[in-house]
Amino acid sequence: MEIYLIRHTTPAVERGICYGFADIDVAPTFETEAARVKGLLPDKPLVVYSSPLQRCRKLATYLFSNNFTTDDRLKELNFGEWEMKRWDDLGPDALQKWMDDFVYVRVPGGESYIDLRDRAVAVLNEVISKGKDAVLVTHSGIIRALLAHVSGTPLEKSFERRTEYGRVACLKVVNGAIEIDFYNS
């Protein structure tokens, strides 16, 4: 069984803005980036799940028409009160407190990285239980958390793995064991 993890294409948001749950549109480079992703996917039946945020939904629609299901658990980290604010405007104390333990400290009005990891792993386990090749069109946080889970990497180190916009990773499930087949293609 194969599970493809696809990060959305470049979002239409200014650099330096904190966003996660915000429903941001895609950048004008969408068609080019989406066509590249399409060329990386196998020509076989896939069960497709997508974050409901438009930057993922648009890519899922481009790749699979309307043959996908949205799942709120595939959303990016909920940055709560920080959503759509400039990182520089959050204040050094608030930001440092979170950065010191982002795995467990919740963003004000939002969630922690462990919260995101738990919902991501729940989706992964459900997909695996269905036993069919699948695609998750989602966000960097979800993909990093899943790759950390599969590889046994501590969440604190998961950001050492870059996940570029419009890139694909593939997990293979063989006899109940999950491994990373490829990453960032």
**What domains does the chain contain, in order, with CATH numbers?**
2-182 (3.40.50.1240)
Closest alpha carbon to 90 in 98, 102, 82: 82
Task: Please state the three-class secondary structure of 44-109 as a single string.
Answer: CCCEEEECCCHHHHHHHHHHHCCCCEECHHHCCCCCHHHCCCEHHHCCHHHHHHHHHCCCCCCCCC
For residues 69 and 48, the answer to whether their CB atoms sit within 8 Å is yes
Whole-number pLDDT of residue 2: 98
Work out whether the CA dihedral 70, 26, 135, 104 comes out positive or negative. negative
State the average pLDDT over residues 5-16.
Answer: 97
pTM for this model (two decimals): 0.95
Whole-number pLDDT of residue 78: 98
State the average pLDDT over residues 96-118.
Answer: 95
Q: Which residue is it, tokens 């959503």?
A: 83
Rounded to whole angstroms, the Cα distance separating 41 from 52 reads 21
Closest alpha carbon to 128 in 68, 49, 182, 14: 49
Work out whether the CA dihedral 144, 150, 155, 161 comes out positive or negative. negative
Segment 48-101, tens digit of pLDDT = 999 999 999 999 999 999 999 999 999 999 999 999 999 999 987 888 889 899
Whole-number pLDDT of residue 184: 79
Rounded to whole angstroms, the Cα distance separating 141 from 143 reads 6
pLDDT of 185 strictly over 80? no
Whole-number pLDDT of residue 138: 98
